[in-house]
């Protein structure tokens, strides 16, 4: 099990991005949270099997037709105890 902190840049607010990610993460059994930043980026912590995370990341980067990711960064962080993936405000 691994946990990652990810920041997405581009057209990621106002296009259903957080709900798209939640759907993908929950379907694959990943936990964590996602939140809009004031600067227009979206930050996320996501936890689970590294191979599953990679598959979900590929789907996130492919987008839903409205999402346009221009850049992203990933940092491995310590695993924590949690049981869901949700939106933070």
- Which positions are catalytic? 18, 36
Give CA–CA dist 30/39, Å, rounded. Answer: 26
Give CA–CA dist 46/38, Å, rounded. Answer: 20
Nearest 10 degrees: Cα torsion 65, 76, 45, 49 = 80
């Amino acid at each position: 099990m691994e946990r990652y902190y990810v920041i997405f840049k581009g057209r990621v607010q106002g296009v259903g991005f957080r709900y798209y990610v939640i759907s993908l993460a929950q379907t694959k059994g990943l936990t964590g949270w996602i939140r809009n930043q004031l600067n227009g980026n979206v930050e996320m912590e996501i936890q689970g099997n590294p191979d599953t995370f990679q598959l979900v990341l590929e789907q996130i980067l492919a987008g839903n037709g409205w999402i346009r990711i221009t850049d992203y960064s990933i940092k491995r962080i310590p695993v924590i105890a949690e049981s869901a993936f949700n939106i933070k405000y």
